[in-house]
Amino acid sequence: MPENLIDLRQAVQDNGCDIGIAFDGVRVTTTDGWRLLRASNTEDLLVVRCESLSQAGLERLMAMVAVQLCHAGIAQPDGS
């Protein structure tokens, strides 16, 4: 697992989320739904997938991802 994913897994654990280790990433399940973060097999980037039953839940999941990426020191596409 790339070093940044290890840092990200620690950030998720520190947040008290239920996590599962995917083959090449981290799957996080919350009451809002789930998100999967993994290294791309073809490009030097992190792939993030989120799924929720509601738009509000999806927005909360995406906000959690943004915070956890920041805590792990991983830059987001917008440069933050």
**Per-residue pLDDT tens over the stretch 45-80:** 888 999 999 999 999 999 988 888 887 777 777 654
Residue 8: pLDDT band with limits 50, 70, 90: low
The per-residue pLDDT for 62 is 93
The per-residue pLDDT for 65 is 87
**CB atoms near residue 22 (< 10 Å):** 13
- Find out whether 38 and 29 touch, Cβ atoms under 8 Å: no
Give the domain 3-71 fold: TATA-Binding Protein (3.30.310)
pTM: 0.68
Q: Delimit the domains of the chain by residue range.
A: 3-71
